[in-house]
Amino acid sequence: DTAVSQTPKYLVTQMGNDKSIKCEQNLGHDTMYWYKQDSKKFLKIMFSYNNKELIINETVPNRFSPKSPDKAHLNLHINSLELGDSAVYFCASSLEGGAPYEQYFGPGTRLTVT
Amino acid sequence: AQTVTQSQPEMSVQEAETVTLSCTYDTSESDYYLFWYKQPPSRQMILVIRQEAYKQQNATENRFSVNFQKAAKSFSLKISDSQLGDAAMYFCAYRTYNFNKFYFGSGTKLNVKP
């Protein structure tokens, strides 16, 4: 059983397009995250939701909009894609207030903007 | 805010030998959690080992062990009997005790030579 799943795993699109990445976790976790990993492998937190409420919103362009329909899902919509958006995007989840304490990651979505 | 520093961007080890990856962090908290994650070329983030700050005993998982020095705010990972499959990026991560926030280091690329 996949714990944290993301779709699609690969996304190739042109500048100016709008795209979405979906994430689902079946671990019963209450917190979900989006990270961006650039070509130098640095992991940058973008957003975090706890029980559907936004709790972390780092300095991310307004073109990026997360949506959490329920605590098992966190989607990422990107408007007007730019070349600099090319990266791997990871979804992750964790449980607040109890074990296990670590984050569980999805397989990542490699976004390529041409 | 907490910061996590991995001062070794890249390291190499001979197969079957031992290697230690360094990690330091900055915090004013007394309770927190520390992790090492492995990211092989498949890009999946895999938890290697976790350490609760309130535990004095260093965590071990088979060939992986940590040297946790709370006063020095140091959390190094030792890999014994290195195998080719250990070649990956390794990330050190810190989790706050409250508020479920995670902070990642910049990663260390480990090469394993046959």
Q: What is the pLDDT of residue A52?
A: 81
Those residues of chain B that have pLDDT short of 70 are none
Contact B89 A90 (CB under 8 A): no
Mean pLDDT of chain A: 93
Percent of chain A with pLDDT over 70: 99
Q: What is the pLDDT of residue A68?
A: 92
Q: Does A46 touch chain B (CB under 8 A)?
A: no
A51, pLDDT greater than 90 = no
Write the pLDDT tens digit of every residue in B27-50: 999 999 999 999 999 999 999 999
SS (H, E, C) B49-108: EEEECCCCCCCEECCEEEEEECCCCEEEEEECCCCHHHCEEEEEEEEECCCCCEEECCCE
| Residue B106 distance to chain A (closest CA, Å) | 5
Mean local confidence (pLDDT), A38-51: 90
Q: What is the pLDDT of residue B111?
A: 98
Interface of A with B in 18-37 (CB under 8 A): 31, 33
Q: What is the pLDDT of residue A57?
A: 79
Contact B52 A101 (CB under 8 A): yes
Interface test with chain A among B45, B61, B98, B103, by most A beta carbons within 10 Å: B45
Confidence class for position A99, pLDDT limits 50, 70, 90: confident
Q: What is the pLDDT of residue A96?
A: 83
Q: What is the pLDDT of residue B98?
A: 80
Contact B107 A41 (CB under 8 A): yes
For the range A35-42, what are the long-range contacts, defined as Cβ-Cβ under 8 Å and sequence gap of 24 or more?
A: A35/A89, A35/A90, A35/A91, A35/A92, A36/A87, A36/A88, A36/A89, A36/A90, A37/A87, A37/A88, A37/A89, A37/A90, A37/A108, A38/A87, A39/A87, A40/B106, A41/B39, A41/B89, A41/B106, A41/B107, A41/B109, A42/B106, A42/B107
Mean local confidence (pLDDT), A48-69: 88
Mean local confidence (pLDDT), A71-94: 96
